[in-house]
Structure 1
Amino acid sequence: MGRYWKLVILVTGIVVVLGTFFIQTTLANLALPEFDIKKVTGDLAEIDPVIINGYYEDRIVRSDMWITSKETVHLNERSFFERMNDLQFHSPLVQDLYKNNRSFLRGKNFYSGTFIENDEQIIYVSLPWDQTNDTAVQVEIAILDKQSKEETLFQL
Protein backbone atom coordinates (compact mmCIF):
# COMPACT_ATOMS: atom_id res chain seq x y z
CA MET A 1 0.00 0.00 0.00
CA GLY A 2 2.91 2.33 0.70
CA ARG A 3 4.00 2.25 -2.93
CA TYR A 4 0.63 3.31 -4.32
CA TRP A 5 -0.27 6.24 -2.03
CA LYS A 6 0.10 8.82 -4.83
CA LEU A 7 -2.24 6.85 -7.09
CA VAL A 8 -4.82 6.46 -4.29
CA ILE A 9 -4.73 10.21 -3.54
CA LEU A 10 -5.06 11.04 -7.27
CA VAL A 11 -8.06 8.73 -7.79
CA THR A 12 -9.70 9.98 -4.57
CA GLY A 13 -9.21 13.59 -5.67
CA ILE A 14 -10.75 12.92 -9.09
CA VAL A 15 -13.77 11.17 -7.52
CA VAL A 16 -14.29 14.04 -5.04
CA VAL A 17 -14.06 16.74 -7.74
CA LEU A 18 -16.41 14.94 -10.16
CA GLY A 19 -18.84 14.04 -7.37
CA THR A 20 -18.93 17.65 -6.15
CA PHE A 21 -19.52 18.89 -9.69
CA PHE A 22 -22.43 16.53 -10.34
CA ILE A 23 -24.03 17.17 -6.95
CA GLN A 24 -23.76 20.95 -7.46
CA THR A 25 -25.21 20.66 -10.98
CA THR A 26 -28.14 18.60 -9.70
CA LEU A 27 -28.87 21.07 -6.91
CA ALA A 28 -28.69 24.00 -9.34
CA ASN A 29 -31.12 22.28 -11.72
CA LEU A 30 -33.62 21.83 -8.89
CA ALA A 31 -33.85 25.63 -8.64
CA LEU A 32 -34.90 26.00 -12.30
CA PRO A 33 -38.57 26.87 -12.71
CA GLU A 34 -41.13 24.69 -14.43
CA PHE A 35 -43.70 26.40 -16.66
CA ASP A 36 -47.12 25.05 -17.52
CA ILE A 37 -49.44 26.06 -20.33
CA LYS A 38 -52.97 26.01 -19.01
CA LYS A 39 -56.12 26.01 -21.09
CA VAL A 40 -58.48 28.92 -20.46
CA THR A 41 -60.84 28.31 -23.36
CA GLY A 42 -60.70 26.32 -26.58
CA ASP A 43 -59.13 23.02 -27.52
CA LEU A 44 -55.87 22.01 -25.83
CA ALA A 45 -54.92 19.91 -28.88
CA GLU A 46 -54.36 23.14 -30.84
CA ILE A 47 -51.31 24.00 -28.73
CA ASP A 48 -49.64 20.55 -28.91
CA PRO A 49 -47.33 21.44 -31.84
CA VAL A 50 -46.31 24.78 -30.26
CA ILE A 51 -42.80 25.00 -28.80
CA ILE A 52 -41.74 28.22 -27.08
CA ASN A 53 -37.98 28.83 -27.16
CA GLY A 54 -36.69 31.17 -24.51
CA TYR A 55 -34.42 31.54 -21.56
CA TYR A 56 -34.73 32.04 -17.84
CA GLU A 57 -32.33 34.34 -16.06
CA ASP A 58 -31.91 35.51 -12.51
CA ARG A 59 -28.85 36.89 -10.73
CA ILE A 60 -27.00 33.57 -10.70
CA VAL A 61 -28.56 31.18 -13.20
CA ARG A 62 -29.23 31.57 -16.92
CA SER A 63 -30.84 28.66 -18.71
CA ASP A 64 -32.04 28.27 -22.28
CA MET A 65 -35.27 26.29 -22.40
CA TRP A 66 -38.22 24.95 -24.34
CA ILE A 67 -41.77 25.19 -23.08
CA THR A 68 -44.28 22.76 -24.58
CA SER A 69 -47.80 21.85 -23.55
CA LYS A 70 -46.40 18.83 -21.69
CA GLU A 71 -43.07 19.90 -20.15
CA THR A 72 -40.33 22.46 -19.66
CA VAL A 73 -36.91 21.34 -20.94
CA HIS A 74 -33.86 23.28 -19.73
CA LEU A 75 -30.58 23.09 -21.63
CA ASN A 76 -28.76 22.83 -18.29
CA GLU A 77 -30.49 19.48 -17.72
CA ARG A 78 -29.00 18.03 -20.91
CA SER A 79 -25.77 16.06 -20.91
CA PHE A 80 -22.49 17.59 -22.01
CA PHE A 81 -22.60 15.80 -25.36
CA GLU A 82 -26.20 16.86 -26.05
CA ARG A 83 -25.17 20.47 -25.38
CA MET A 84 -22.30 20.17 -27.86
CA ASN A 85 -24.73 19.15 -30.60
CA ASP A 86 -26.22 22.57 -31.41
CA LEU A 87 -29.06 21.06 -33.43
CA GLN A 88 -30.27 18.99 -30.46
CA PHE A 89 -31.82 21.99 -28.74
CA HIS A 90 -33.74 23.34 -31.70
CA SER A 91 -37.35 22.71 -32.58
CA PRO A 92 -38.42 19.43 -34.19
CA LEU A 93 -39.30 21.40 -37.35
CA VAL A 94 -35.69 22.55 -37.74
CA GLN A 95 -34.35 19.10 -36.84
CA ASP A 96 -36.49 17.48 -39.57
CA LEU A 97 -35.48 20.14 -42.10
CA TYR A 98 -31.82 19.58 -41.28
CA LYS A 99 -32.03 15.79 -41.51
CA ASN A 100 -33.70 15.95 -44.93
CA ASN A 101 -31.79 18.93 -46.43
CA ARG A 102 -28.29 19.03 -44.91
CA SER A 103 -26.55 20.62 -47.88
CA PHE A 104 -29.14 23.41 -48.16
CA LEU A 105 -28.96 24.27 -44.45
CA ARG A 106 -25.18 24.25 -44.17
CA GLY A 107 -24.02 27.58 -42.71
CA LYS A 108 -27.52 28.84 -41.89
CA ASN A 109 -29.05 29.77 -38.54
CA PHE A 110 -31.23 27.04 -37.07
CA TYR A 111 -34.10 29.18 -35.82
CA SER A 112 -37.56 28.16 -36.94
CA GLY A 113 -38.52 31.81 -37.55
CA THR A 114 -36.08 32.01 -40.46
CA PHE A 115 -37.65 29.15 -42.45
CA ILE A 116 -40.83 28.80 -44.46
CA GLU A 117 -41.68 25.40 -45.89
CA ASN A 118 -44.46 24.22 -48.18
CA ASP A 119 -44.89 21.25 -50.51
CA GLU A 120 -42.74 22.68 -53.31
CA GLN A 121 -39.97 24.64 -51.61
CA ILE A 122 -38.09 25.73 -48.50
CA ILE A 123 -37.32 29.42 -48.10
CA TYR A 124 -34.65 30.72 -45.72
CA VAL A 125 -34.45 34.44 -44.85
CA SER A 126 -31.63 36.03 -42.89
CA LEU A 127 -30.78 39.57 -41.81
CA PRO A 128 -27.01 39.61 -41.29
CA TRP A 129 -25.80 42.41 -39.04
CA ASP A 130 -22.64 44.32 -39.82
CA GLN A 131 -21.10 45.93 -36.72
CA THR A 132 -19.03 48.36 -38.77
CA ASN A 133 -21.96 49.72 -40.79
CA ASP A 134 -25.26 49.40 -38.96
CA THR A 135 -27.17 51.53 -41.49
CA ALA A 136 -26.66 49.12 -44.38
CA VAL A 137 -29.38 46.48 -44.22
CA GLN A 138 -29.22 43.41 -46.41
CA VAL A 139 -31.68 40.58 -46.59
CA GLU A 140 -30.29 37.22 -47.67
CA ILE A 141 -32.80 34.81 -49.17
CA ALA A 142 -32.18 31.19 -50.12
CA ILE A 143 -34.81 29.08 -51.88
CA LEU A 144 -34.63 25.30 -52.32
CA ASP A 145 -36.92 23.64 -54.85
CA LYS A 146 -37.76 20.26 -53.30
CA GLN A 147 -38.39 18.44 -56.60
CA SER A 148 -35.33 19.58 -58.55
CA LYS A 149 -33.10 20.20 -55.49
CA GLU A 150 -32.11 23.49 -57.18
CA GLU A 151 -30.96 26.21 -54.78
CA THR A 152 -31.42 29.92 -55.51
CA LEU A 153 -29.56 32.56 -53.47
CA PHE A 154 -29.93 36.32 -53.63
CA GLN A 155 -29.56 39.46 -51.51
CA LEU A 156 -31.76 42.52 -51.27
Structure 2
Amino acid sequence: MQAFTFVHTADLHLDSPFIGLEQIDPEVAAVLKDATFRAFDNIIKLCIDSNARFLLVAGDVFDSGDRSLRAQLRFRDGLERLDEAGIDSFVVHGNHDPLDGWTASLAWPERTHIFQGDKVEVVPIIDGGENPMAHVYGISYPTRDVRRNLAAEFHR
Protein backbone atom coordinates (compact mmCIF):
# COMPACT_ATOMS: atom_id res chain seq x y z
CA MET A 1 0.00 0.00 0.00
CA GLN A 2 1.26 3.45 -0.91
CA ALA A 3 1.80 5.89 1.97
CA PHE A 4 0.10 9.28 1.76
CA THR A 5 -0.50 12.40 3.82
CA PHE A 6 -3.81 14.08 4.53
CA VAL A 7 -4.82 17.00 6.72
CA HIS A 8 -7.84 16.91 9.02
CA THR A 9 -9.44 20.01 10.49
CA ALA A 10 -12.74 20.90 12.12
CA ASP A 11 -14.56 23.73 13.85
CA LEU A 12 -13.04 26.52 11.78
CA HIS A 13 -16.01 28.83 12.51
CA LEU A 14 -14.86 31.21 9.76
CA ASP A 15 -15.79 34.85 10.38
CA SER A 16 -16.89 34.16 13.95
CA PRO A 17 -18.21 37.42 15.42
CA PHE A 18 -16.21 37.05 18.68
CA ILE A 19 -18.91 38.75 20.74
CA GLY A 20 -17.52 41.28 23.20
CA LEU A 21 -14.65 42.57 21.07
CA GLU A 22 -15.91 46.13 21.43
CA GLN A 23 -14.68 45.95 25.05
CA ILE A 24 -11.01 45.53 24.08
CA ASP A 25 -8.33 47.49 22.25
CA PRO A 26 -9.40 48.06 18.59
CA GLU A 27 -6.08 46.79 17.24
CA VAL A 28 -6.37 43.55 19.21
CA ALA A 29 -10.00 43.24 18.11
CA ALA A 30 -8.97 43.57 14.45
CA VAL A 31 -6.37 40.82 14.85
CA LEU A 32 -8.90 38.52 16.52
CA LYS A 33 -11.56 39.28 13.90
CA ASP A 34 -9.30 37.87 11.17
CA ALA A 35 -7.84 35.01 13.25
CA THR A 36 -10.12 32.32 11.80
CA PHE A 37 -9.15 33.31 8.26
CA ARG A 38 -5.44 33.27 9.10
CA ALA A 39 -5.83 29.82 10.65
CA PHE A 40 -7.59 28.55 7.51
CA ASP A 41 -4.90 30.08 5.28
CA ASN A 42 -2.27 28.25 7.35
CA ILE A 43 -4.15 24.97 6.88
CA ILE A 44 -4.22 25.49 3.11
CA LYS A 45 -0.49 26.28 3.14
CA LEU A 46 0.21 23.15 5.21
CA CYS A 47 -1.69 21.00 2.69
CA ILE A 48 0.28 22.42 -0.21
CA ASP A 49 3.68 22.42 1.53
CA SER A 50 3.27 18.82 2.74
CA ASN A 51 1.92 17.65 -0.62
CA ALA A 52 -1.18 16.28 1.10
CA ARG A 53 -3.41 13.94 -0.88
CA PHE A 54 -6.52 15.58 0.55
CA LEU A 55 -7.98 17.93 3.16
CA LEU A 56 -10.85 16.70 5.33
CA VAL A 57 -12.94 19.47 6.92
CA ALA A 58 -15.11 17.76 9.52
CA GLY A 59 -17.87 20.15 10.47
CA ASP A 60 -18.59 23.71 11.48
CA VAL A 61 -16.73 25.44 8.68
CA PHE A 62 -18.89 28.48 9.35
CA ASP A 63 -20.08 29.96 12.61
CA SER A 64 -23.79 29.75 11.85
CA GLY A 65 -26.36 28.61 9.33
CA ASP A 66 -26.48 32.20 8.08
CA ARG A 67 -22.85 32.07 7.03
CA SER A 68 -21.34 35.34 5.85
CA LEU A 69 -20.60 35.88 2.18
CA ARG A 70 -17.07 36.91 3.17
CA ALA A 71 -16.53 33.54 4.90
CA GLN A 72 -17.97 31.58 1.98
CA LEU A 73 -15.76 33.37 -0.53
CA ARG A 74 -12.61 32.92 1.57
CA PHE A 75 -13.40 29.23 2.07
CA ARG A 76 -14.05 28.69 -1.63
CA ASP A 77 -10.84 30.55 -2.52
CA GLY A 78 -8.80 28.33 -0.19
CA LEU A 79 -10.29 25.18 -1.69
CA GLU A 80 -9.56 26.59 -5.15
CA ARG A 81 -5.88 26.90 -4.19
CA LEU A 82 -5.91 23.23 -3.20
CA ASP A 83 -7.67 22.29 -6.43
CA GLU A 84 -4.98 24.09 -8.44
CA ALA A 85 -2.33 22.14 -6.49
CA GLY A 86 -4.06 18.82 -7.29
CA ILE A 87 -5.31 18.32 -3.72
CA ASP A 88 -8.83 17.00 -3.06
CA SER A 89 -11.10 18.53 -0.40
CA PHE A 90 -13.86 16.79 1.54
CA VAL A 91 -16.30 18.95 3.49
CA VAL A 92 -18.80 17.92 6.16
CA HIS A 93 -21.27 20.50 7.46
CA GLY A 94 -21.88 20.41 11.21
CA ASN A 95 -24.60 21.59 13.55
CA HIS A 96 -23.41 25.22 13.39
CA ASP A 97 -23.49 25.36 9.58
CA PRO A 98 -26.05 22.76 8.45
CA LEU A 99 -26.90 22.18 4.82
CA ASP A 100 -30.22 24.03 5.12
CA GLY A 101 -28.47 27.30 6.05
CA TRP A 102 -28.10 30.21 3.65
CA THR A 103 -25.50 29.64 0.97
CA ALA A 104 -24.46 31.92 -1.86
CA SER A 105 -24.64 30.40 -5.33
CA LEU A 106 -20.94 29.67 -5.61
CA ALA A 107 -19.24 27.25 -7.95
CA TRP A 108 -17.08 24.94 -5.86
CA PRO A 109 -13.76 23.66 -7.21
CA GLU A 110 -13.86 20.42 -9.16
CA ARG A 111 -11.81 18.51 -6.57
CA THR A 112 -14.16 19.52 -3.72
CA HIS A 113 -16.69 17.01 -2.38
CA ILE A 114 -19.38 18.29 -0.02
CA PHE A 115 -21.06 15.46 1.86
CA GLN A 116 -24.86 15.49 1.81
CA GLY A 117 -27.09 14.88 4.84
CA ASP A 118 -29.42 12.08 3.81
CA LYS A 119 -27.01 9.13 4.21
CA VAL A 120 -23.35 8.31 4.82
CA GLU A 121 -21.35 8.65 1.61
CA VAL A 122 -18.16 6.73 0.85
CA VAL A 123 -15.59 8.24 -1.51
CA PRO A 124 -12.57 6.14 -2.53
CA ILE A 125 -9.16 7.79 -2.73
CA ILE A 126 -7.57 6.28 -5.82
CA ASP A 127 -3.81 5.84 -6.22
CA GLY A 128 -2.00 6.46 -9.51
CA GLY A 129 -3.78 3.44 -11.01
CA GLU A 130 -7.24 2.19 -10.17
CA ASN A 131 -6.72 0.92 -6.64
CA PRO A 132 -8.27 2.64 -3.62
CA MET A 133 -5.65 3.84 -1.12
CA ALA A 134 -8.32 4.78 1.39
CA HIS A 135 -12.01 5.58 1.70
CA VAL A 136 -13.39 8.83 3.12
CA TYR A 137 -16.76 8.47 4.84
CA GLY A 138 -18.98 11.42 5.66
CA ILE A 139 -22.44 12.78 6.33
CA SER A 140 -23.38 16.41 6.92
CA TYR A 141 -25.96 17.79 9.30
CA PRO A 142 -28.99 18.47 7.09
CA THR A 143 -30.45 20.78 9.77
CA ARG A 144 -29.16 22.25 13.02
CA ASP A 145 -31.19 19.90 15.22
CA VAL A 146 -30.65 16.30 14.16
CA ARG A 147 -32.33 13.78 16.44
CA ARG A 148 -30.99 10.58 14.86
CA ASN A 149 -27.58 9.20 15.77
CA LEU A 150 -25.44 9.97 12.71
CA ALA A 151 -22.50 7.97 14.10
CA ALA A 152 -24.63 4.80 14.09
CA GLU A 153 -25.05 5.14 10.32
CA PHE A 154 -21.35 4.46 9.60
CA HIS A 155 -20.51 0.90 8.55
CA ARG A 156 -17.39 -0.72 7.09
Report TM bin, short chain: under 0.3
TM normalised by structure 1 equals 0.26
Q: Which has the larger radius of gyration?
A: 1
TM normalised by structure 2 equals 0.26
